[in-house]
Structure formats: C-alpha cells, structure tokens
Structure 1
Amino acid sequence: MVSTEPPAPRAWYGCMGLGGSWDEQPYGAQDIELAERAVNTALEVGITAFDHADIYRFGKAESVFGELIARDPGLRRRIVLQTKCGIRLAQDGMPGHYDLRGASIIERVEQSLARLRTDHVDVLLLHRPDPLARPEEVAEALTKLRDQGLVKHFGVSNMSAEQIQDLEHRLDFPLVANQLEMSLASRAWVEAGVLVNTAEGASVGFPSGVTEYCRRRGMQIQAWGALARGRYTGRQETEAEHATADLVSAIAAAAETTPEAVLLWWLQRHPARISPVIGTTNPGRIRACADSVRREPELSHEDWYRLWISARGSALP
C-alpha cells in the first residue's frame, strides 16, 4: 500500500560513488566491499535514507546496493530507498540526453528495481527536465507506478517552481521533494533571493522562487553536493576558500563538532527543510557528518551570515 506520509530524513547518503568505474565494465568484489563499508558507516551514524539514480556508474551503483540487500534481507526494511530516472548517458553514438517519455520512465524504474533487488522504492525523482516531455504522459506514468505499488512517493530534481507546478497540475497526489545543488560553495539558491534588483542578480541563474515554492508546498529540498566537494575541508584554492575553511574550523571547534557538520548545519539551519545528500565513500568523512543527524544545527544567526559572507568573498548588497 502507498504510505500517506512521505519520508523526511535529516540527511541522505548519496550512492553515486558506489559501483566502481563510470563505464560498462563489471564491478568486482572490492566494489561490493567498499559499498558495504560506506553503507554500514552511514547506518552507524544514523543515516537511514539512501539516494540513487539509474545512471550512477552506468547502473552499477544500484546493482552493488542490490548485492547488499541480497546479503542482508532485513536491510531493506530499515532504510528509505530513493532513485532517479530521466537522464540517458551517451551510448552507441548517441550523446547524453534527457528522456521523460512515459514508457521510458516505467521501463527505467523496472530496471532499477531489478538491480536494487527490491519490489518498490520509497521515492522516485525525475532527474532533469526534459523539454520534449508531455506533462500529461509523465503524470500517467507516475500514477501507474504508484497504483502498481512500485513507487510510494514522487519528486523532482533540478526543476523550477513553474516546472513543478506544471506537473503537479496533472497529478492527484503531491510531489514530495526537489533535489538541487546547494552548498556553502554553490550558493545561487540563496544569492538569488537577495540579489533581486541588482546588476549582479542577472548572473545568478537560479530560478527565482523555487525554495519558497517548495517550502510553501511542504516539499523537502534535498541538497546534492552539500559538502562542497571538500572546498572548505582540505581542498582550498582561493583566498576566500582558505578564509572560509578557517572560519568553518573555528565554529566547529567552538561547537565541539567537525567542519563537515558545520557545512551541513549551514544548509539545515535554513527554514526551507533542506536535507543534505552526503556523497563521500570515505568512512571517516561519513562519520564526520554524524552531527548533521544527531544534533540540531548549532549555528547562530550571526555565524550563519559570517559563513555566507566569507564564502562569497564580498559584502552583501
């Protein structure tokens, strides 16, 4: 039966790094072992929601995760499982493109279920907007998947408020999530809200009103790239990044937590229900994120702004 309550975890573990190489070469025992270490570490720190996509490692991320479910059948009952469809990787002379045709959505979900070795996923996200998609056809496919019990809840990824509304208008159930790139480094989502009526605002590119729309509709916003690819925890390049990394470390020390937790708190402190997706496969770094699920964000109003202004490298308008 379809659950009436959509999952709303504090954080997700992103499975894009599982499954070996980004090609069609088969995965090996070492890839299963790496996945097992990462998943067990995520569970150890309290992360029970796992984010996939059918394209990750050419489907091997799902397949390796399916191996873990096969080894421990009880695992499926303890977790929230999410996957995405809608992107076609470059293959057989065809460049990468988007595909949200109704039949394609259903086919890709069935393939994901087979790889994951499960009879349903808790959430399906439409990975990218497809300009050729017919919203009524997409809605029909999602409804069919729901009615068959293959998917409990649906959401989108990388979509604007208008695109979400266009699809929701044709559905008799709500979309529950929108996954967007968000971090202290990828700040367009918050910059757009304060650069209205400025020359700088024209270059931001983030769709105006999407966070407000999701917040108003009760949709969870999931933040991919939440750890900023290590930009403030060891991979600094610019003066602003070095200064921000020092500030992150100082705030972490004062709160008796890790720099990774501070970066995730910066997202979680926002009132728009932002849930970070943690994509590292390094067990130590996964453990460093533990306070993002174990503690409420301990960032003051002032420290939140200090981090933002430091990362942008200039004063607010």
Structure 2
Amino acid sequence: MRTIKLGTSELEVPVVAVGCMRINSLDQKAAERFIQTSLENGANFFDHADLYGAGECEEIFADAVQMNDDVRENLILQSKCGIRPDVGTFDFSKEHIVQSVEKILQRLKTDYLDVFLLHRPDALMEPEEVAEAFDILESSGKVRHFGVSNQNPMQMELLSKYLKQPIVANQLQLSITNTTMISSGINVNMENEAAVNRDGSVLDYCRLKDITIQPWSPFQYGFFEGVFLGNEKFPELNKRIDEVAAKYEVSNTTIAIAWLLRHPANMQPVIGTMNESRLLECIKASDVHLTREEWYSIYRSAGNILP
C-alpha cells in the first residue's frame, strides 16, 4: 500500500489506518484472520483507544496478533486517552495521561506506542501538565510520536506553546457527507450555511503545520447516524459514486476512501470495518486517483454547493 510520512516525523505509515474500535465483535479466530489479512496487504497501522471496549479491544488485539518482539517490529500502534465515561469527564491531567499509557501498554503487551493521541479536548486542560506527561513518556521510551484528536487550531497552538514534541496527527470527523472543514473553505465570504467556519480552518492549519489529518467515520453521515453508501437518503450521491466505481472497476467503498485520499492534505483515513472483504476494498483506494472533475462531482452529489 502507498505510504506517507506522519506529520513532520520520519515515520512512514500506510495511507489507510485500521481502526480497532469494533474488534471485540469478533471471536479469537476471526480477529486473528482479520489482522493477518491487514498485515498481508500492507495495512500495519492499527488505531486504538482506552475507551474502546473499556480496554478490552486492546487486549483482544494483542492476543489475536500473538504479540512478541518479532511481531511488534512489523506493527505501527496508535492509541488514545482522555475520555473518562466512568466519572463523566475528559481528563488531560499529567497523572491520568501517564497512567493511561501504562495501562494501554500492558493491554497491548508492548513496551511502546508509535503514536499517542489526546482524545477529545479537555476544557480543564493545563498545557504545562500535558507537556510534562509527554516528556515523561518520550524520555522513558514509551511513546515515540504525539498527536491529538478533535482539536481546533487554537487548541493545538496552546499545546504547542509548551510541548517539545511536534503534533504529528489530528483525528477529525470527515466524510463525503460531513465536509464542513472543506465546505467553509470553498464558500468563503458567502452568506450561506456552508460558509460557517465551525472549526477555525483546521484543514488549512493542519496543512500549514504538516499535521496529518486522520478522518474518522469516513462512511458515516451525521454523528454516527448511519452509513451513506447504499442509503436511500442519498440517491444522487450513491448514483454518482456507483458510476465512478464502475469506471475504475472497484466498489463504492473504495471510491468513498479514494475521495478522501484525493485531497492534497495527504490524509490517513481510519476505517472501522471488521469485515475482511471490505477492508480489502478500502486498501484498494490507495491505487485509485480520482480526477478533479470526479472529486467535485461526488462532492456536489452529496448536497454540497459551489458558490
């Protein structure tokens, strides 16, 4: 699979990341087959979070991959912390970050994470504490690269004022039907809903700072309301996606991911499927380069407007 550099780091990562939020829906054998299929096809970047299955997903992954030093060399592991449903808070305190990473490493049966992200912004974040936590994790060799999730430019600027480490990635919701970060840039100075800048131009900021955007829920519309592919709510979109898929002799799933990869921001979509066939369809998007006309026609068919 095609690779990109993650942020400003020298870490080469596949353009499609495998999200493990639903791996607890598989039994042991199915999880082993899924991970093996991923690795055989160059998808060796696995995204986790301590939130997923309350940690169970990381344990299942480690068992399914039969983690040891030799296996670990072929994996790129990313995880996140900061959401605490047990107490109803977000938590970026130094103590919670450091302890969370320790527990993540135990569950994944590894000594280090390639990438660690802060999950959802914490309104009570003290950036000095985050910086101390990152220094502890980096100096101990437990985390090699750092990033964030769902943060806007000023939140990243505030963090960067204190961090020694660069922010290499930002996970953000983005799909053909959730395009606010793209649409606001197209509709600058227009009096319409699409012109509303809800995220502080996070797309342009990440491009300026060489921060890799990792789109999450690339097949969802709304906030986990359902998938748009094959959905009768989006007839024009599906008609156009199917036409483009027929041209390239691939599935509609492939085109949905290829649409994200066509953007010059060099994004790394995080897919959440646990279906091997669909996984392969997503991976195939690495080889599909949509034309400018195809990209815009898909964008418009989702109900997005051009001024």
Q: TM-score, normalised by structure 2?
A: 0.90
- Tell me by how many angstroms 1:275 deviates: 0.9
Task: Give the whole-Å Cα distance in 1 for the aligned partners of 2:191 and 2:9.
Answer: 45
1:46-65 matches, within 5 Å, as 46-65=42-61
1:237 aligns with 2:225: no
Identity of aligned residues (%): 39
Equivalent residue in structure 2 for 1:148, among 119, 127, 140: 140
Equivalent residue in structure 2 for 1:214, among 206, 214, 222: 206
Whether the 8 Å CA contact 1:18–1:34 is kept in 2: the answer is no
Whether the 8 Å CA contact 1:255–1:298 is kept in 2: the answer is no
Equivalent residue in structure 2 for 1:15, among 20, 32, 56: 20
1:247 aligns with 2:240: yes
Equivalent residue in structure 1 for 2:268, among 249, 272, 275: 275
Whether the 8 Å CA contact 1:54–1:108 is kept in 2: the answer is yes
Q: For residues 136-188 of structure 1, give each alpha carbon's deviation from its aligned partner in whole angstroms, at most 9, with x where no partner exists.
A: 11011011100100000000000001111111111122110011011112111
Task: Give the whole-Å Cα distance in 2 for the aligned partners of 1:203 and 1:213.
Answer: 17
Task: Give the whole-Å Cα distance in 1 for the aligned partners of 2:209 and 2:72.
Answer: 29
Task: Give the whole-Å Cα distance in 1 for the aligned partners of 2:67 and 2:98.
Answer: 27
Determine helix, strand or coil for the equivalent of 1:53: coil
1:264 aligns with 2:257: yes
Unaligned runs of 5+ in 2: 1-7
1:126 corresponding residue in structure 2: 118
Whether the 8 Å CA contact 1:232–1:242 is kept in 2: the answer is no
Equivalent residue in structure 2 for 1:38, among 26, 34, 37: 34
Opposite residue 285 of structure 1, the aligned amino acid is R
Whether the 8 Å CA contact 2:153–2:202 is kept in 1: the answer is yes
Task: Give the whole-Å Cα distance in 2 for the aligned partners of 1:7 and 1:102.
Answer: 29
- Tell me by how many angstroms 1:38 deviates: 2.0
1:291 corresponding residue in structure 2: 284
Whether the 8 Å CA contact 1:66–1:115 is kept in 2: the answer is yes
- Tell me by how many angstroms 1:196 deviates: 2.9
Determine helix, strand or coil for the equivalent of 2:188: coil
Task: Give the whole-Å Cα distance in 2 for the aligned partners of 1:282 and 1:163.
Answer: 36
Whether the 8 Å CA contact 2:173–2:218 is kept in 1: the answer is yes
Equivalent residue in structure 1 for 2:191, among 190, 199, 221: 199
Q: For residues 28-63 of structure 1, give each alpha carbon's deviation from its aligned partner in whole angstroms, at most 9, with x where no partner exists.
A: xx6322322221222233211000001101111101
Opposite residue 214 of structure 2, the aligned amino acid is Q
Q: For residues 216-274 of structure 1, give each alpha carbon's deviation from its aligned partner in whole angstroms, at most 9, with x where no partner exists.
A: 1111110101123773433x131xx1221121111011112221111111111111111
- Tell me by how many angstroms 1:16 deviates: 0.4
Higher mean C-alpha deviation, range 148-157 or range 179-188:
179-188
2:4 corresponding residue in structure 1: none
2:306 corresponding residue in structure 1: 316
Where in structure 1 do 4 or more consecutive aligned residues deviate above 4 Å? Answer: 202-205
Determine helix, strand or coil for the equivalent of 1:123: strand
Whether the 8 Å CA contact 1:12–1:50 is kept in 2: the answer is yes
Task: Give the whole-Å Cα distance in 2 for the aligned partners of 1:17 and 1:112.
Answer: 17
Count of residue pairs the alignment pairs up: 296
